Amino acid sequence: MKRILITGGNGLLGQTVTRLLSQETDHEVLVTGREQRSVIGKIPVQYVRLDVTDKKQLRDCIQDFQPDTIINTAANTDVDACEEDREKAQLLNVKPVEYLAEAARITGAHVIHISTDYVFDGERAPLDESAAPKPVNYYGRTKLASENVLRGAGVRHTIIRTMILYGYGVEIKPNFALWVLNNLSANKTINVVVDQYGQPTFVDDLGYGIIKIIDLERLGLYHITGSEVTSRYDFAVTVAEIFKLNKSLIQPISSEEFRQAAPRPRYSEFVTQKARMELGIRLSNVREGLSMLKKQMEHRTHNFY
Ligand SMILES: NC(=O)c1ccc[n+]([C@@H]2O[C@H](COP(=O)([O-])OP(=O)(O)OC[C@H]3O[C@@H](n4cnc5c(N)ncnc54)[C@H](OP(=O)(O)O)[C@@H]3O)[C@@H](O)[C@H]2O)c1
Protein backbone atom coordinates (compact mmCIF):
# COMPACT_ATOMS: atom_id res chain seq x y z
CA MET A 1 0.00 0.00 0.00
CA LYS A 2 1.28 3.45 -0.94
CA ARG A 3 0.32 6.93 0.18
CA ILE A 4 -0.84 8.96 -2.83
CA LEU A 5 -1.46 12.72 -2.94
CA ILE A 6 -3.47 14.13 -5.84
CA THR A 7 -3.48 17.83 -6.77
CA GLY A 8 -6.35 19.36 -8.79
CA GLY A 9 -8.54 16.53 -7.46
CA ASN A 10 -11.81 18.15 -8.59
CA GLY A 11 -10.77 18.32 -12.26
CA LEU A 12 -11.53 15.65 -14.87
CA LEU A 13 -8.32 13.66 -14.48
CA GLY A 14 -8.14 14.27 -10.71
CA GLN A 15 -11.64 12.82 -10.20
CA THR A 16 -10.94 9.88 -12.51
CA VAL A 17 -7.69 8.91 -10.81
CA THR A 18 -9.37 9.25 -7.40
CA ARG A 19 -12.21 6.96 -8.48
CA LEU A 20 -9.93 4.34 -10.05
CA LEU A 21 -7.51 4.32 -7.11
CA SER A 22 -10.35 3.82 -4.66
CA GLN A 23 -12.05 1.13 -6.79
CA GLU A 24 -9.01 -0.78 -7.99
CA THR A 25 -6.31 -0.44 -5.32
CA ASP A 26 -5.79 -0.32 -1.56
CA HIS A 27 -3.55 2.75 -1.70
CA GLU A 28 -4.25 5.49 0.83
CA VAL A 29 -5.31 8.58 -1.12
CA LEU A 30 -5.32 12.25 -0.12
CA VAL A 31 -7.26 14.33 -2.62
CA THR A 32 -6.54 18.05 -2.74
CA GLY A 33 -8.18 20.86 -4.67
CA ARG A 34 -8.70 24.57 -4.38
CA GLU A 35 -12.41 24.21 -3.64
CA GLN A 36 -13.78 23.86 -0.11
CA ARG A 37 -14.71 20.18 -0.57
CA SER A 38 -14.34 17.20 -2.85
CA VAL A 39 -17.08 17.24 -5.48
CA ILE A 40 -17.21 13.46 -5.80
CA GLY A 41 -19.41 13.00 -2.78
CA LYS A 42 -20.09 9.26 -3.13
CA ILE A 43 -16.46 8.19 -2.77
CA PRO A 44 -15.21 8.45 0.79
CA VAL A 45 -11.83 10.15 0.40
CA GLN A 46 -9.60 12.25 2.59
CA TYR A 47 -9.74 15.77 1.19
CA VAL A 48 -7.70 18.85 1.98
CA ARG A 49 -8.17 22.28 0.46
CA LEU A 50 -4.95 23.20 -1.33
CA ASP A 51 -4.07 25.96 -3.75
CA VAL A 52 -0.91 24.76 -5.46
CA THR A 53 0.29 28.31 -6.07
CA ASP A 54 0.68 28.71 -2.29
CA LYS A 55 4.20 27.41 -1.73
CA LYS A 56 3.97 27.13 2.06
CA GLN A 57 0.58 25.41 2.02
CA LEU A 58 1.82 22.93 -0.58
CA ARG A 59 5.04 22.18 1.29
CA ASP A 60 3.21 21.76 4.62
CA CYS A 61 0.63 19.45 3.03
CA ILE A 62 3.34 17.23 1.54
CA GLN A 63 5.36 17.20 4.74
CA ASP A 64 2.29 16.32 6.84
CA PHE A 65 0.99 13.53 4.59
CA GLN A 66 4.42 12.17 3.54
CA PRO A 67 3.15 10.73 0.22
CA ASP A 68 5.07 8.02 -1.63
CA THR A 69 3.62 9.41 -4.86
CA ILE A 70 2.28 12.83 -5.86
CA ILE A 71 0.04 13.01 -8.94
CA ASN A 72 -0.01 16.57 -10.22
CA THR A 73 -3.16 17.11 -12.29
CA ALA A 74 -3.67 20.78 -11.28
CA ALA A 75 -3.16 23.20 -14.15
CA ASN A 76 -4.67 26.04 -16.10
CA THR A 77 -5.96 24.03 -19.07
CA ASP A 78 -7.65 26.94 -20.85
CA VAL A 79 -5.29 27.30 -23.83
CA ASP A 80 -6.65 30.65 -25.02
CA ALA A 81 -6.68 32.13 -21.50
CA CYS A 82 -2.99 31.13 -21.15
CA GLU A 83 -2.21 33.03 -24.36
CA GLU A 84 -3.99 36.12 -23.09
CA ASP A 85 -2.71 36.13 -19.49
CA ARG A 86 0.81 34.77 -19.65
CA GLU A 87 1.73 35.73 -16.12
CA LYS A 88 -1.16 33.74 -14.71
CA ALA A 89 -0.33 30.80 -16.99
CA GLN A 90 3.21 30.77 -15.64
CA LEU A 91 1.95 31.08 -12.08
CA LEU A 92 -0.43 28.10 -12.44
CA ASN A 93 1.46 25.79 -14.78
CA VAL A 94 5.12 26.23 -13.88
CA LYS A 95 5.59 27.67 -10.38
CA PRO A 96 3.64 24.91 -8.55
CA VAL A 97 5.83 22.29 -10.23
CA GLU A 98 8.90 24.05 -8.81
CA TYR A 99 7.30 24.02 -5.34
CA LEU A 100 6.28 20.37 -5.69
CA ALA A 101 9.75 19.36 -6.81
CA GLU A 102 11.31 21.20 -3.89
CA ALA A 103 9.06 19.45 -1.38
CA ALA A 104 9.49 16.07 -3.09
CA ARG A 105 13.27 16.42 -2.91
CA ILE A 106 12.98 16.63 0.86
CA THR A 107 10.45 13.82 1.39
CA GLY A 108 11.66 11.53 -1.44
CA ALA A 109 8.23 11.32 -3.12
CA HIS A 110 7.81 10.17 -6.71
CA VAL A 111 6.16 12.96 -8.76
CA ILE A 112 3.86 12.07 -11.66
CA HIS A 113 3.17 15.11 -13.81
CA ILE A 114 0.83 15.51 -16.79
CA SER A 115 1.91 17.30 -19.95
CA THR A 116 0.51 17.68 -23.44
CA ASP A 117 0.93 17.28 -27.20
CA TYR A 118 0.93 21.11 -27.27
CA VAL A 119 4.67 20.98 -26.48
CA PHE A 120 4.95 20.15 -30.23
CA ASP A 121 4.21 22.25 -33.31
CA GLY A 122 2.05 19.67 -35.11
CA GLU A 123 4.22 19.70 -38.24
CA ARG A 124 5.82 16.24 -37.82
CA ALA A 125 4.17 12.93 -36.98
CA PRO A 126 4.06 10.42 -35.44
CA LEU A 127 6.05 11.53 -32.39
CA ASP A 128 7.68 9.23 -29.88
CA GLU A 129 9.21 10.22 -26.54
CA SER A 130 12.52 11.19 -28.18
CA ALA A 131 11.01 13.86 -30.49
CA ALA A 132 12.22 17.43 -29.95
CA PRO A 133 9.49 19.74 -28.55
CA LYS A 134 8.61 23.02 -30.27
CA PRO A 135 5.49 24.66 -28.78
CA VAL A 136 3.45 27.09 -30.88
CA ASN A 137 1.40 28.63 -28.07
CA TYR A 138 1.97 29.90 -24.54
CA TYR A 139 0.13 27.01 -22.84
CA GLY A 140 2.52 24.62 -24.61
CA ARG A 141 5.49 26.73 -23.53
CA THR A 142 4.41 26.62 -19.87
CA LYS A 143 3.86 22.85 -20.00
CA LEU A 144 7.29 22.33 -21.58
CA ALA A 145 8.80 24.59 -18.92
CA SER A 146 7.09 22.49 -16.23
CA GLU A 147 8.56 19.31 -17.74
CA ASN A 148 12.01 20.90 -17.70
CA VAL A 149 11.62 21.93 -14.06
CA LEU A 150 11.09 18.29 -13.12
CA ARG A 151 13.92 17.05 -15.34
CA GLY A 152 16.35 19.40 -13.64
CA ALA A 153 15.04 18.97 -10.10
CA GLY A 154 16.80 15.79 -9.04
CA VAL A 155 13.55 14.07 -7.94
CA ARG A 156 12.12 10.73 -9.00
CA HIS A 157 9.56 11.72 -11.60
CA THR A 158 7.39 10.56 -14.47
CA ILE A 159 6.04 12.90 -17.14
CA ILE A 160 3.03 11.77 -19.16
CA ARG A 161 2.08 13.59 -22.35
CA THR A 162 -1.54 13.16 -23.41
CA MET A 163 -4.09 14.99 -25.58
CA ILE A 164 -7.82 15.81 -26.02
CA LEU A 165 -8.92 14.22 -22.73
CA TYR A 166 -12.60 13.35 -22.52
CA GLY A 167 -14.72 11.71 -19.87
CA TYR A 168 -17.35 12.32 -17.26
CA GLY A 169 -16.92 14.21 -14.00
CA VAL A 170 -18.93 16.23 -11.50
CA GLU A 171 -18.91 20.02 -11.93
CA ILE A 172 -15.96 19.87 -14.32
CA LYS A 173 -15.10 22.29 -17.08
CA PRO A 174 -16.81 20.60 -20.08
CA ASN A 175 -14.25 18.71 -22.16
CA PHE A 176 -14.69 18.65 -25.94
CA ALA A 177 -16.93 15.54 -25.99
CA LEU A 178 -19.20 16.88 -23.23
CA TRP A 179 -19.32 20.30 -24.91
CA VAL A 180 -20.54 18.69 -28.14
CA LEU A 181 -22.98 16.54 -26.19
CA ASN A 182 -24.39 19.44 -24.18
CA ASN A 183 -24.93 21.62 -27.26
CA LEU A 184 -26.46 18.94 -29.48
CA SER A 185 -28.72 17.80 -26.63
CA ALA A 186 -29.97 21.40 -26.38
CA ASN A 187 -30.48 21.43 -30.16
CA LYS A 188 -27.83 24.12 -30.64
CA THR A 189 -25.65 24.47 -33.74
CA ILE A 190 -21.89 24.29 -33.18
CA ASN A 191 -18.91 25.22 -35.35
CA VAL A 192 -16.14 22.63 -35.27
CA VAL A 193 -12.76 22.81 -36.98
CA VAL A 194 -12.03 20.33 -39.75
CA ASP A 195 -8.29 20.91 -39.98
CA GLN A 196 -7.02 20.13 -36.45
CA TYR A 197 -6.16 16.48 -35.88
CA GLY A 198 -5.29 14.56 -32.73
CA GLN A 199 -5.88 11.40 -30.71
CA PRO A 200 -8.84 11.84 -28.33
CA THR A 201 -8.00 10.10 -25.05
CA PHE A 202 -10.62 8.47 -22.84
CA VAL A 203 -9.62 9.68 -19.39
CA ASP A 204 -10.03 6.25 -17.74
CA ASP A 205 -7.32 4.83 -20.04
CA LEU A 206 -4.93 7.51 -18.81
CA GLY A 207 -6.05 6.84 -15.22
CA TYR A 208 -5.18 3.14 -15.57
CA GLY A 209 -1.81 4.13 -17.05
CA ILE A 210 -1.11 6.30 -13.99
CA ILE A 211 -1.97 3.43 -11.64
CA LYS A 212 0.48 1.17 -13.50
CA ILE A 213 3.18 3.85 -13.26
CA ILE A 214 2.60 4.08 -9.50
CA ASP A 215 2.65 0.33 -8.94
CA LEU A 216 5.57 -0.44 -11.27
CA GLU A 217 7.41 2.72 -10.12
CA ARG A 218 8.17 3.65 -13.72
CA LEU A 219 10.17 6.85 -14.20
CA GLY A 220 10.79 8.97 -17.30
CA LEU A 221 8.57 10.10 -20.14
CA TYR A 222 5.48 8.36 -21.56
CA HIS A 223 3.12 9.26 -24.40
CA ILE A 224 -0.41 8.05 -23.48
CA THR A 225 -3.29 8.84 -25.86
CA GLY A 226 -6.24 7.21 -27.55
CA SER A 227 -5.35 4.81 -30.36
CA GLU A 228 -6.86 6.75 -33.25
CA VAL A 229 -6.16 10.05 -35.01
CA THR A 230 -9.23 12.07 -35.98
CA SER A 231 -10.16 15.65 -36.81
CA ARG A 232 -12.15 17.61 -34.25
CA TYR A 233 -15.03 17.65 -36.72
CA ASP A 234 -15.05 13.86 -37.18
CA PHE A 235 -14.75 13.40 -33.42
CA ALA A 236 -17.82 15.61 -32.92
CA VAL A 237 -19.75 13.63 -35.55
CA THR A 238 -18.85 10.37 -33.78
CA VAL A 239 -20.09 11.85 -30.47
CA ALA A 240 -23.41 12.60 -32.21
CA GLU A 241 -23.59 9.07 -33.63
CA ILE A 242 -22.78 7.27 -30.35
CA PHE A 243 -25.21 9.41 -28.34
CA LYS A 244 -27.83 9.35 -31.12
CA LEU A 245 -27.98 13.12 -31.54
CA ASN A 246 -28.53 15.29 -34.60
CA LYS A 247 -25.18 15.53 -36.40
CA SER A 248 -26.46 18.07 -38.92
CA LEU A 249 -26.11 20.65 -36.09
CA ILE A 250 -22.31 20.32 -36.44
CA GLN A 251 -20.99 22.91 -38.89
CA PRO A 252 -17.53 22.35 -40.41
CA ILE A 253 -15.23 25.36 -40.18
CA SER A 254 -11.53 26.01 -40.85
CA SER A 255 -9.09 27.12 -38.13
CA GLU A 256 -8.60 30.34 -40.07
CA GLU A 257 -12.32 31.11 -39.89
CA PHE A 258 -12.61 29.93 -36.26
CA ARG A 259 -9.97 32.39 -34.97
CA GLN A 260 -8.84 31.03 -31.60
CA ALA A 261 -6.62 33.34 -29.50
CA ALA A 262 -3.83 30.73 -29.30
CA PRO A 263 -2.51 28.95 -32.39
CA ARG A 264 -2.98 25.15 -32.27
CA PRO A 265 -0.77 22.37 -33.61
CA ARG A 266 -2.36 21.20 -36.86
CA TYR A 267 -1.68 17.46 -36.59
CA SER A 268 -0.80 15.54 -33.40
CA GLU A 269 -0.04 11.86 -33.45
CA PHE A 270 1.93 10.04 -30.76
CA VAL A 271 3.68 6.71 -30.81
CA THR A 272 2.31 5.01 -27.68
CA GLN A 273 4.22 1.75 -27.96
CA LYS A 274 6.41 2.45 -24.90
CA ALA A 275 3.37 2.96 -22.65
CA ARG A 276 1.51 -0.03 -24.07
CA MET A 277 4.48 -2.39 -23.79
CA GLU A 278 5.97 -1.25 -20.48
CA LEU A 279 2.72 -0.54 -18.63
CA GLY A 280 0.59 -3.23 -20.27
CA ILE A 281 -2.30 -0.84 -20.89
CA ARG A 282 -4.86 -0.89 -23.68
CA LEU A 283 -5.76 2.40 -25.33
CA SER A 284 -9.28 2.82 -26.70
CA ASN A 285 -10.24 4.12 -30.11
CA VAL A 286 -12.83 6.89 -30.39
CA ARG A 287 -15.91 4.67 -30.65
CA GLU A 288 -14.80 2.43 -27.77
CA GLY A 289 -14.04 5.42 -25.51
CA LEU A 290 -17.28 7.22 -26.30
CA SER A 291 -19.29 4.03 -25.79
CA MET A 292 -17.74 3.62 -22.33
CA LEU A 293 -18.47 7.28 -21.57
CA LYS A 294 -22.10 6.73 -22.58
CA LYS A 295 -22.38 3.72 -20.27
CA GLN A 296 -20.84 5.66 -17.38
CA MET A 297 -23.26 8.53 -17.90
CA GLU A 298 -26.25 6.18 -18.04
CA HIS A 299 -25.20 4.58 -14.74
CA ARG A 300 -23.79 7.59 -12.95
CA THR A 301 -26.55 8.02 -10.41
CA HIS A 302 -25.93 4.67 -8.76
CA ASN A 303 -22.38 4.04 -9.86
CA PHE A 304 -19.51 6.24 -8.77
CA TYR A 305 -20.76 9.82 -8.49
N1 LIG B 1 -7.85 18.33 -20.92
C2 LIG B 1 -7.05 18.01 -21.92
O3 LIG B 1 -7.47 17.84 -23.07
C4 LIG B 1 -5.58 17.84 -21.65
C5 LIG B 1 -4.74 17.52 -22.72
C6 LIG B 1 -3.38 17.36 -22.48
C7 LIG B 1 -2.88 17.50 -21.19
N8 LIG B 1 -3.72 17.82 -20.18
C9 LIG B 1 -3.16 18.00 -18.84
O10 LIG B 1 -3.78 17.06 -18.00
C11 LIG B 1 -3.89 17.61 -16.66
C12 LIG B 1 -5.31 17.43 -16.15
O13 LIG B 1 -6.21 18.08 -17.04
P14 LIG B 1 -7.79 18.05 -16.83
O15 LIG B 1 -8.39 17.85 -18.16
O16 LIG B 1 -8.15 17.15 -15.70
O17 LIG B 1 -8.01 19.56 -16.43
P18 LIG B 1 -9.16 20.24 -15.55
O19 LIG B 1 -10.41 19.44 -15.59
O20 LIG B 1 -9.17 21.67 -15.96
O21 LIG B 1 -8.56 20.09 -14.08
C22 LIG B 1 -7.53 20.87 -13.61
C23 LIG B 1 -7.81 21.09 -12.14
O24 LIG B 1 -6.75 21.89 -11.60
C25 LIG B 1 -7.36 22.79 -10.71
N26 LIG B 1 -6.53 23.94 -10.40
C27 LIG B 1 -6.28 25.03 -11.18
N28 LIG B 1 -5.52 25.90 -10.50
C29 LIG B 1 -5.30 25.37 -9.28
C30 LIG B 1 -4.65 25.80 -8.13
N31 LIG B 1 -4.03 26.99 -8.09
N32 LIG B 1 -4.61 25.01 -7.03
C33 LIG B 1 -5.23 23.81 -7.05
N34 LIG B 1 -5.91 23.34 -8.11
C35 LIG B 1 -5.94 24.12 -9.21
C36 LIG B 1 -8.63 23.21 -11.41
O37 LIG B 1 -9.49 23.81 -10.49
P38 LIG B 1 -10.52 24.95 -11.00
O39 LIG B 1 -11.58 24.18 -11.73
O40 LIG B 1 -10.96 25.56 -9.72
O41 LIG B 1 -9.75 25.86 -11.89
C42 LIG B 1 -9.12 21.86 -11.91
O43 LIG B 1 -9.88 21.20 -10.91
C44 LIG B 1 -3.39 19.05 -16.76
O45 LIG B 1 -2.04 19.08 -16.36
C46 LIG B 1 -3.46 19.35 -18.23
O47 LIG B 1 -2.50 20.31 -18.61
C48 LIG B 1 -5.06 17.98 -20.37
Q: Closest Cα to residue 118, out of 140, 133, 138, 134?
A: 140
Q: Whose CA is nearest to atom 11 of ligand 1?
A: 73
What's the gap in Å between 94 CA and the centre of ligand 1? 13
Number of residues in the chain: 305
What's the gap in Å between 47 CA and the centre of ligand 1? 17
pLDDT at 196: 97
Is the CA virtual torsion 57, 80, 140, 191 positive or negative?
A: positive
pLDDT tens per residue across span 76-109: 999 999 999 999 999 999 999 999 999 999 999 9
pLDDT tens per residue across span 120-144: 999 999 999 999 999 999 999 999 9
What's the gap in Å between 171 CA and the centre of ligand 1? 13
pLDDT at 42: 74
Question: Best of 13, 59, 117 to mutate for ligand 1, by most ligand atoms within 8 A of CB?
Answer: 13
Averaged over successive runs of 10 residues, the pLDDT of the chain (305 residues) comes to: 97 97 96 92 88 98 98 97 98 98 97 98 97 98 98 98 96 95 97 98 98 98 98 98 98 94 96 98 98 92 51
Q: Which residues pair with 48 in a beta bridge?
A: 32
pLDDT at 302: 45
What's the gap in Å between 248 CA and the centre of ligand 1? 31
DSSP state of 97: H
Q: Closest Cα to residue 53, out of 87, 95, 11?
A: 95
Query: Can you tell me whether residue 47 is helix, strand or coil?
Result: strand
Q: What is the DSSP string of 179-239?
A: HHHHHHHTT--EEEESS-EE--EEHHHHHHHHHHHHHHT--EEEE---S--EEHHHHHHHH
Q: Whose CA is nearest to atom 39 of ligand 1?
A: 11
Residue type for 178, please?
L
What's the gap in Å between 11 CA and the centre of ligand 1? 6
Domains observed in the chain: 3-173+199-227+268-285 (3.40.50.720)
Pocket of ligand 1 (CB under 6 A): 7-8, 10-14, 33-34, 51-53, 73-77, 92, 114, 116, 162-165, 172-173, 175
